[in-house]
Chain A
Amino acid sequence: MMDIAQVVEDTAAKLLEISATKLPSEVKEALIQDEKDTEGSLGKSQLKAINENVILAETFTKPMCQDTGLVSFFVKIGDKFPIKSEVKTALIKATEKATEKVPLRPNAVDMFEGNTKNNVGLRGYVPWFYFDLVEGDKCEIIAMPKGGGSSNVGKMKMVPPGKGIKGVKEFVVEAVAAAGPLACPPYTVGVGVGGGEDMCMNLAKKALLRPLYQYHEDENIASIEKELKDILNKLEIGAMGLGEGTSVFDVHMEFAARHPASLPVGVVISCWALRHAGATIDREGNVEWHPH
């Protein structure tokens, strides 16, 4: 009998390795294209360094950035998938295992006890999980480590609802301008609108999982995404904030219903190292790796 919890653990550990060492192909291509297109030598040399580094990471299966991030998992568990709460235990074990093996930098710091040295928090919150219950007999896992530098420029605002979509756009522009050179641009920007003060941030983070240049299926939203992308590039942040090259590869937005009295907007910014990797496990323990 296949030990399904073990399959989940091994798969998740592998996903952490893939995400730390190999960029999703469309991100990789975007960076290569940007190096070609950038004229100024300062920007070009930054992109060249990034691209050389990405190749080194892939070739030697080493983390592309020393900040291997705070670990989070997006998980969808099917009704008929054999294990449920054990998935959580397996993902925690996978995090410890990958920390040792890849290795990942120990990034889980307890306020009082210091660094836990295994990327697992002492109080049950790290790694962070986004669980969803779905039909079927499979379990989908997406690992998304996110670096501290790029998380530090995330922002949330309760925009006055009277400002409407213009207020949303204004806040996105302000947030990305404030990020400026701080978080290793070129950036990809996730925006969550609506829900509550917590949900808009979750949505914004989730929006980053959508492949680059794939716009929202709702045309209204897609056109705002494209508009914001053009606008944000006029900030002229450039590669590494030196003013040359693309500032923002893409903007992805997710909208939830909002309370009549509030318009929460969350902005989550990813550095060039937009890292995530996914796989789906069926009830027999067969693993299907998502295209990467």
Chain B
Amino acid sequence: MEYHLTTPLPPEELKKIKIGDVVYITGTVVTARDEAHLKALELHKEGKQPPVDFKGIGLFHCGPVMKKNEQGEWTVVAAGPTTSARMEIFQDEFIKTFQPGIIIGKGGMGARTTKACQEETCIYGYFTGGAALLAADRIKKVKDVFWYEELGMPESLWLFDVENFGPLTITIDTHGGNMTEKRIKKIEENKDKILQNL
């Protein structure tokens, strides 16, 4: 199935989506990698608010290449997904705390994220790894950037307006399904077979 959704993503729509489905997002997407996750969670612990309300929007594991144009405005040069597995250690806490609607990344995520997605009605979509220009093409506007001076270009929170951002292959749904984990299991089985026959 193919879905075209607009942020904030309605939970009842998210619940319809199953692993293997393809989703396109229009609306707000914010980039966040390791450092930004940590910083947002730290702020929350101190009782402060991060500068972006993540609720219902797309959280994009991405460290883009950005450039200022002649008018001094930021433009996107390249913006593909980064390996999501690095975020596994705090993604569940992040989902519970900030309730994004969809996590966008590559390489899939693990059991903790899957559980949080199920509990908080969030999905995980796979953007083709490295396809940075396709992604950039769907970003219509750079709305804002936060923590640039402190964290540097790849780790900042870049707030984007996107249109038909995708295709995002859903590998974690709201029902506890995780396509990547299944694939990893299969790869492990294949590996055992290969090693036996070497």
Contacts and interface: CB of A to CB of B under 8 A. Distances in A.
Nearest to B197: A231
A237 interface: yes
Interface in B134-180: 134-137, 150-155, 167, 169, 179-180
A264 to B, nearest CB: 20
A262 interface: no
Interface stretch (A56-64, A210-218, A281-289): A56-64
B187 to A, nearest CB: 5
Interface size class of B (residues with CB under 8 A): 35 or more
Given A235-B194, A243-B186, A65 B80 contact: yes
Interface of A: 42, 45-46, 49-50, 52-53, 56-57, 60, 62-68, 103-107, 109, 114-115, 117, 147-149, 152, 166, 169-170, 173-174, 177, 180-184, 231, 234-238, 240-243, 271-273
A170 B131 contact: no
Q: Which secondary structure dominates chain A's binding surface?
A: loop
A106 B77 contact: no
A240 B81 CA distance: 12
22 contacts: A42-B169, A49-B134, A60-B133, A65-B78, A66-B65, A67-B63, A67-B132, A68-B65, A105-B78, A105-B153, A114-B150, A114-B152, A115-B152, A149-B83, A173-B194, A177-B187, A177-B191, A181-B107, A181-B180, A182-B107, A184-B107, A235-B191
B40 interface: no
Given A64-B132, A242-B169, A107 B154 contact: yes
Given A66-B62, A173-B191, A152 B128 contact: no
B106 interface: yes
A56 B133 contact: yes
B11 interface: no
B190 interface: yes
A149 B190 CA distance: 23
A64 B133 contact: yes
B130 A53 contact: yes
A241 B78 contact: no
A63 B195 contact: no
Given A67-B130, A68-B65, A149-B83, 18 more contacts: A49-B131, A49-B134, A50-B131, A52-B131, A56-B134, A63-B65, A63-B77, A63-B133, A105-B153, A106-B153, A114-B152, A115-B153, A149-B107, A183-B107, A184-B129, A184-B130, A240-B126, A272-B130
Nearest to A149: B83
Contacts of A169: 198
B132 A53 contact: yes
Contacts of B183: 180-181, 237-238, 241-243
Contacts of A148: 82-83
A241 B130 CA distance: 13
Contact of B190 (A68, A174, A234): A234
A183 B194 contact: no
A35 to B, nearest CB: 12
Given A173-B191, A242-B179, A53 B133 contact: yes
A180 B65 contact: no
